[in-house]
Structure 1
Amino acid sequence: MKQLIETIVKPLVDYPGDVRVTKGEQDYRVIYKLSVNPEDMGKVIGKKGRVAKAIRTIVYSAAGSHHGKKVYLDIMD
């Protein structure tokens, strides 16, 4: 899943080397935290959050049932 997020985000940004995805697990959920260069934040979020919503939709669909855990994607500022 980490690689999927990086594959989606890196072509969108000017600084692909600054893209970082970390994974955290809790009882009933898996949280992926995405951080990018501050200059690329607008490109990842998009107008009215459309790009971020599209990325989340793809990630949630690809995750399916992640061993009974819900998958979340947080975009860190």
Structure 2
Amino acid sequence: MLAEALKHLISNIVDFPADVSVRDIDTSRGEMLRVRVNPEDIGRVIGRGGRTATALRTVVDAIAGEHVRVDIMDNRRSRR
């Protein structure tokens, strides 16, 4: 549910919504959402001074009721 909600939020602020993917990963340190966007949209998702990214993380934490790590990267980076 968190991944879908985050994907919906991000898809509405980028120019290339079809390139948005959110993957839910369980790590030893807790849940993590890995976000990939088109390289041209990375600035929109991070925002000036990281404000948009911080707001997205705050919304995800509020929905989850606990801290969830959100990593934002562009599609150029290798997929692991």
Counting matched residue pairs gives 73
Task: Name which of 58, 70, 74 aligns with 1:73.
Answer: 70
Once the 2 structures are TM-superposed, how far is the Cα of residue 28 of structure 1 from its aligned partner? 4.3
Task: Determine which structure has greater relative contact order: mean sequence separation of CA pairs < 8 Å that are 6+ residues apart, divided by chain length.
Answer: 1
Partner in structure 1 of residue 36 of structure 2: 35
Q: What secondary structure is seen at the aligned counterpart in 1 of 2:12?
A: helix
Distance between the aligned counterparts of 1:23 and 1:16, measured in 2?
A: 18
TM score, norm. by length of structure 2: 0.85
Q: Taking every aligned residue pair, what percent have the same amino acid on both sides?
A: 40
Gaps of 5+ in 1: none
TM score, norm. by length of structure 1: 0.88
Partner in structure 2 of residue 25 of structure 1: 26
Cα deviation, 1:13-69, whole Å, max 9, x if unaligned, reads 00000001011102340010001000000000010000000000000111014xxxx
Large movers: runs of 4+ above 6 Å: none
